[in-house]
Amino acid sequence: MQILPDKQTDQNLIKLLKANSNNFHFNQTQIKQRLLQSIRQTPQAAVRIPFRWILEYGSAVALIIILATATFGFAANSNPGDKFFPINKWGEQVILSLPLNDQTIAQIHTNIVNKRLRALTKLENEENQQAQETPAINNRRLITVKESHETLSAAITTITAQKEALRASDNSESINALNQVLTRLENLAKQQEEKIEAIESHTQNDQVREEIEDQLKQIHEVRNQVYQESKIQGKSIDNEEN
């Protein structure tokens, strides 16, 4: 028997809708069997990364790259003793570890030595304006001088090894190109010595002056080594000895 509605309020209508939920019969088993057969033949799709995640993580990665670039850019101008200098130094090592040809590596070494020379020049100029010597200043002096020595030694060690390898293959042209780099390095080493001597003369602390003097001697030895190495042409060692 159908019940025809009179004018019903919304609430009554909603009650009616809620009260008259009815399940319908269907071939549950048959559909299930068909479904199980289908899923055996149908693989699950690969995990789809939601676009929201791509956006969020992509933004985070982009921000990290921007920050890293900004940090490296800022660090590139830092000098020994500065807060960001270790990052700068790390960046230099990364570049030197790249698979580049001998001449490029040698040039990079030269550029680094040149950077240290500029740091020494900057330090010398700052000291000309400083009235008083402080532990911070002495610390900076020592670090800058040591870095100068280290980079020069690293350069000559690398280039000497490169020349040895090239001599074995009798590559005169490349050896001569490296000799030109060595000549430039020797010139840079001479300038470094001059700067360090000036810094040493400003240093009042005896211990610091002694350490600077020690570094200076070592740089002088390296400079001689660079000079000697730059004179060795692209001939075999046996021929040189003869």
Partner 1 sequence: MIDEHEIQNLVSQAQQKDGAAFARIYDLLAQSIYNFLLSKLRHKETAEDLMHTVFLKAWQGLSSYQARPNAKFSTWLYQIANYTLIDYWRTKKTTVELEVVENLSQFAEDPKLYEEYEYLWKAIAQLPLTYQTVLDLRFKQDLSVEETAHIMRKTQIGIRVLQHRAVKALKSKLNANSS
Q: How many CB atoms lie within 10 A of CB 38?
A: 9
Distance CA 88, CA 81 (A): 11
Q: How far is the CB of 53 from partner 1 (least distance, A)?
A: 10
The residue among 50 and 135 lying less far from partner 1, judged by its C-beta, is: 50
Tokens of 148: 């100068």
Distance CA 65, CA 54 (A): 16
Q: How far is the CB of 51 from partner 1 (least distance, A)?
A: 12
The residue among 32 and 235 lying less far from partner 1, judged by its C-beta, is: 32
Burial 126-143 (b: 16+ CB within 10 A, else e): ebeeeeeeeeebbebbbb
Distance CA 214, CA 103 (A): 31
Q: Which residues contact 232 (CB under 8 A, 6 or more apart)?
A: 163, 175, 179, 240
The residue among 44 and 97 lying less far from partner 1, judged by its C-beta, is: 44
Q: How far is the CB of 58 from partner 1 (least distance, A)?
A: 18
Q: How far is the CB of 43 from partner 1 (least distance, A)?
A: 8
Best CA proximity match to 103, nearest among 151, 148, 166: 166
Read off the DSSP letter of residue 20. T
The residue among 34 and 235 lying less far from partner 1, judged by its C-beta, is: 34
Which residues of the chain form contacts with partner 1 (CB under 8 A)?
A: 1-5, 7-8, 10, 13-14, 16-18, 20-28, 31-32, 34-36, 38-40, 42-48, 50
Q: How far is the CB of 69 from partner 1 (least distance, A)?
A: 34
Q: How far is the CB of 59 from partner 1 (least distance, A)?
A: 20
The residue among 8 and 233 lying less far from partner 1, judged by its C-beta, is: 8
Diameter over CA atoms, the chain? 126
The residue among 36 and 131 lying less far from partner 1, judged by its C-beta, is: 36
